[in-house]
């Protein structure tokens, strides 16, 4: 199960967030690049290639974010 407390420290404040890999569980972003490549308006990568929410989505992007949550291979995109 994903460790929701392991949020990436660069996530913008809001409902949507990505989790950073945990050394204990191995859960979190796997640096596949799917979310920042698909929706750069919301997601970005840190210097190590891990995804985070750099801007919370406005109402026109919510559906696209939900699709990414469902298709994320590591299950590391979440909504509070």
Write down how long the chain is. Answer: 80
29 within domain boundaries? yes
Residue 27 within any structural domain of the chain: yes
pLDDT tens digit sequence for 21-75: 876 555 799 999 999 999 999 999 999 999 999 999 999 999 999 999 999 999 9
- Residue 70: inside a domain, yes or no? yes
Cα atoms found within 13 Å of the Cα of residue 27, Cβ hemisphere only? 16
Compute the distance between CA of residue 23 and CA of residue 40 in angstroms, rounded to an integer.
Answer: 27
* Whole-structure pTM value: 0.89
Tokens of 77: 């995109």
In a domain, 59, yes or no: yes
Does 38 reside within a domain?
yes
- Domain holding 42, by residue range, is 16-79
Give 45's strand partners: 51
Examine residue 31 and state whether it is found in any structural domain, yes or no: yes
The CATH number of the domain holding residue 59 is: 3.30.70.20
How many domains does the chain fold into? 1
């Amino acid at each position: 199960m994903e460790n929701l407390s392991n949020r990436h420290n660069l996530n913008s404040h809001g409902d949507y967030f990505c989790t950073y890999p945990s050394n204990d569980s191995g859960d979190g972003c796997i640096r596949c690049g799917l979310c920042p490549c698909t929706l750069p308006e919301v997601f970005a990568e840190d210097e190590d290639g891990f995804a985070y929410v750099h801007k919370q989505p406005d109402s026109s992007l919510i559906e696209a974010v939900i699709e990414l949550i469902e298709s994320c291979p590591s299950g590391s995109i979440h909504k509070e």
